[in-house]
């Protein structure tokens, strides 16, 4: 089942009328049978997106498609989804088995005649409509349809009666309204085997470890054979080792069942290791959709570059001058992209809601540290900034520039040591850790710290030096607004 999200938007209206846009115009596709990782920092709208797909939140705007079916207004129970909550939400008063079978208890099979009856009713209502509109042609058409439908119903009823006499077993199977206890037990055991919790079926959730609870939650979500499995940071409550183990388990279960899955996480490593495709979000907006390696190797903007990778990417300042890229006063790179003018809009985002994205203290401190951010703002906007209820104040500045400051990103492992390297580093200290040598320092004349990881063999070259030069194997150049240039 392919899941398609189209222009999905969700705004929450606060008590005082303030508006929070948790998800903003999101579109992406989860291919059938794939696992998509929804990755972003805390509060970026991941859960909100998932809940909209689940049907627990009603989208403010946009559509959700499951295959060819528009499920935007379908209630959660009819969507055929399984959801694993951020903190599992296992029913504390049920045993593990009851937790797994609870969704099955609610399954109701329609009568085999249901479809025929629906057709009859549909025809009847069409006739009424046609009568009201006085449309003779349509009336005749629908009356014919009604006759056919009634005939079909009659035939099906007779057929069913015949089965009742000839094959009572089959009749019972056909007219069954609920799953029997044996069937439910069988499914419970099957699910429990799948997630490896069969010995604990009679226990209460609180008698299980976090990892076991998490697996019960998956079993419950899978019990009804959903079309789509949704997981909301399912590993966030587990310790590091269990997290690693469970992550692989989820991947195994997903592959085994071939179920289309959306996996929410704020842990980039987790997303990278488990997903077929990663959707990176920030502030409710999609930043990049790509395969994990591609997101890592080719980040589309500064946010994605910074968010992925551990240890984090090194970011330092550069300057485009006369069509060339300079770092620390030396030419760092020469390329025709630097000769192009920059036409763009710089988004400045200053204000943050109290408690969610940045506390008011942090925000005040941040403002105090950067008074220049207030420059050029209207007095009204400045006042709005000081009101912690305000979520984000955006000022869009249009710019056309040739010479300008830029940010350069290089991953720690993407350096080679070279006496002729293009990047001069002031070394703070050098460390030999395991197979690697890490050099901690700063780009000459700059403030931001750098971490450079090179192979052990270079140890004798770099130890005891105050200044070293490195050559980046690959690097990314970003506008100050975050947009990628190269």
Partner 1 sequence: MANLKERNEEVVVTANGSAVLQTPYIDAVTNKGYLDVKQHKWIMPEWLKGWIALIPALIFLIVFMIYPIINSFMISFINNFYWVGGSNSSLAIVNFIASRANTRSSIVQSFGIQNYVNIFKDQLFWQALGNTGLIVIVEVPLTILVGLIIAVCLHSIKPLQGFYQTVFFLPYVTNAIALGMVFNVMFSDGSAGLFNTLIGWFGINPVNWLGASASKWSMFFVIVVYSIWNGIAFKILVFMSGLSTIDKQYYDAARIDGASKFTIFRRITVPLLSPQILYITVTSFIGAAKSYSQIIALFGAGPVNFGGTDGTRWITIVGFIYKYMQSTQESALGRAAAGSVILLILILLLTLVQFAVSKNRVHY
Ligand X SMILES: Nc1ncnc2c1ncn2[C@@H]1O[C@H](COP(=O)(O)OP(=O)(O)OP(=O)(O)O)[C@@H](O)[C@H]1O
Where on the chain is the footprint of ligand X (CB under 6 A)?
A: 12, 20, 22, 40, 42-48, 266, 356
Q: How many CB atoms lie within 10 A of CB 151?
A: 12
Q: Which of 22, 52, 64, 81 binds partner 1 (CB under 8 A)?
A: 81
Q: Which of Mg ion, ligand X, partner 1, none sits in contact with 220, Cβ below 5 to 8 A by type? A: partner 1
CB of 228: closest distance to ligand X in angstroms? 18
Q: Which of 5, 36, 39, 85 binds partner 1 (CB under 8 A)?
A: 85
Of 277, 305, 217, 294, nearest to 253 by C-alpha is 217
- Using the minimum distance from each CB to partner 1, give the nearer residue, 93 or 241: 93
Q: Which of 20, 72, 87, 360 binds partner 1 (CB under 8 A)?
A: 87
DSSP letters for 318-358: EEEETTEEEETTEEEEE-GGGGS-EEEEEEEE----TTTTS
Q: How many residues bind partner 1 (CB under 8 A)?
A: 24
Using left for φ > 0, alpha for ψ between -120 and 50, and beta otherwise, residue 192 falls in alpha
From residue 324 to residue 363, the character string flagging contacts with partner 1 as x (rule: CB under 8 A) and all else as - is ----------------------------------------
- In 90-239, where does DSSP find H-type helix? 96-105, 114-133, 136-166, 168-174, 181-194, 210-223
Distance from C-alpha of 213 to C-alpha of 210, rounded to nearest angstrom: 5
CA dihedral 470, 475, 479, 484 (to 10 degrees): 180
CB of 187: closest distance to partner 1 in angstroms? 13
Q: Which of 70, 105, 151, 167 binds partner 1 (CB under 8 A)?
A: 105
Told to check if 47 binds Mg ion by CB under 5 A, we report yes
Told to check if 106 binds partner 1 by CB under 8 A, we report yes
- Using the minimum distance from each CB to partner 1, give the nearer residue, 50 or 120: 50
Told to check if 405 binds partner 1 by CB under 8 A, we report no
- Using the minimum distance from each CB to partner 1, give the nearer residue, 108 or 343: 108
Residues in a beta bridge with 451: 440
Distance from C-alpha of 309 to C-alpha of 104, rounded to nearest angstrom: 42
Told to check if 220 binds partner 1 by CB under 8 A, we report yes
Alpha-carbon distances, residue 299 vs 41, 146, 176, 278, 424 (angstroms): 16, 60, 54, 12, 25
Contact 71, 55 (CB under 8 A): yes
DSSP letters for 265-292: ES-HHHHHHH-SEEEEEETTEEEEEE-H
CB of 127: closest distance to ligand X in angstroms? 45
Contact 50, 38 (CB under 8 A): yes
CB of 71: closest distance to Mg ion in angstroms? 21
Distance from C-alpha of 206 to C-alpha of 87, rounded to nearest angstrom: 13
CB of 42: closest distance to Mg ion in angstroms? 7
Choices 21-29, 90-98, 208-216, 368-376; region in contact with partner 1 by CB under 8 A: 90-98
- Using the minimum distance from each CB to ligand X, give the nearer residue, 40 or 211: 40
Name, in order, each residue with C-beta under 8 angstroms of 463's C-beta and a sequence gap of 6 or more. 430
Choices 40-48, 94-102, 238-246, 329-337; region in contact with Mg ion by CB under 5 A: 40-48
Told to check if 82 binds partner 1 by CB under 8 A, we report yes
Residues in a beta bridge with 472: 415
Q: Which of partner 1, ligand X, Mg ion, none sits in contact with 37, Cβ below 5 to 8 A by type? A: none
Told to check if 75 binds partner 1 by CB under 8 A, we report yes
> Residues interacting with Mg ion, by CB under 5 A?
47
Chain residues binding partner 1 by CB under 8 A are: 51, 54-56, 75-78, 81-83, 85, 87, 89, 91-93, 102-103, 105-107, 220, 224
């Amino acid at each position: 089942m392919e899941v398609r999200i189209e222009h999905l938007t969700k705004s929450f209206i606060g008590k005082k009328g303030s508006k929070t846009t948790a998800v903003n115009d999101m579109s992406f596709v989860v291919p059938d049978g794939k696992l998509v990782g929804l990755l972003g920092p805390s509060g970026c709208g991941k859960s909100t997106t998932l809940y909209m797909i689940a049907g627990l939140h009603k989208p403010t705007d946009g559509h959700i498609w499951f295959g060819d079916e528009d499920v935007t207004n379908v209630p959660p129970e009819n969507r055929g989804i399984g959801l694993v909550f951020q903190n599992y939400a296992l029913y504390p008063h049920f045993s593990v088995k009851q937790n797994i079978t609870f969704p099955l208890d609610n399954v109701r099979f329609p009568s085999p005649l249901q479809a025929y009856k629906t057709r009859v009713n549909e025809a009847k209502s069409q006739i009424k409509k046609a009568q009201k509109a006085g449309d003779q042609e349509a009336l005749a058409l629908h009356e014919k349809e009604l006759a056919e439908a009634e005939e079909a119903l009659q035939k099906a009823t007779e057929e069913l009666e015949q089965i009742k006499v000839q094959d009572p077993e089959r009749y019972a199977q056909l007219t069954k309204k609920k799953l029997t206890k044996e069937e439910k037990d069988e499914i419970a055991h099957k699910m429990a085997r799948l997630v490896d919790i069969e010995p604990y079926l009679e226990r209460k959730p609180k008698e299980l470890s976090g990892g076991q609870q998490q697996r019960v939650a998956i079993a419950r979500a899978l019990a009804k054979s959903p079309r789509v499995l949704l997981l909301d940071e399912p590993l966030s409550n587990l310790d590091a080792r269990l997290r690693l183990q469970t992550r692989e388990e989820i991947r195994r279960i997903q592959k085994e069942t071939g179920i289309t899955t959306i996996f929410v996480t704020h842990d980039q490593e987790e997303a990278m290791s488990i997903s077929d495709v990663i959707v990176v979000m920030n502030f409710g907006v999609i930043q990049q959709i790509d395969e994990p390696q591609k997101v890592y190797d080719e980040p589309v903007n500064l946010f994605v570059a910074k968010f992925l990778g551990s240890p984090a990417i090194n970011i330092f300042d550069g300057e485009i001058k006369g069509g060339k890229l300079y770092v620390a006063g030396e030419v760092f790179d020469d390329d025709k992209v630097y000769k192009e003018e920059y036409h763009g809009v710089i988004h400045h985002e200053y204000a943050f809601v109290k408690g969610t994205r940045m506390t008011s203290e942090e925000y005040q401190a941040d403002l105090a540290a950067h008074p220049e951010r207030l420059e050029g703002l209207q007095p009204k906007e400045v006042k709005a900034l000081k009101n912690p209820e305000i979520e984000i104040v955006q000022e869009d500045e249009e710019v056309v520039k040739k010479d300008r400051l830029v940010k350069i990103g290089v991953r720690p492992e993407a350096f080679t040591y070279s006496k002729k390297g293009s990047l001069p580093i002031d070394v703070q200290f050098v460390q030999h850790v395991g197979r690697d040598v890490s050099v901690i320092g700063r780009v000459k004349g700059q403030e931001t710290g750098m971490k450079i990881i090179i192979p052990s063999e270079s140890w004798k070259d770099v130890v005891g030096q105050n200044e070293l030069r490195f050559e980046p194997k690959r690097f990314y150049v970003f506008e100050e607004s975050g947009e990628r240039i190269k």
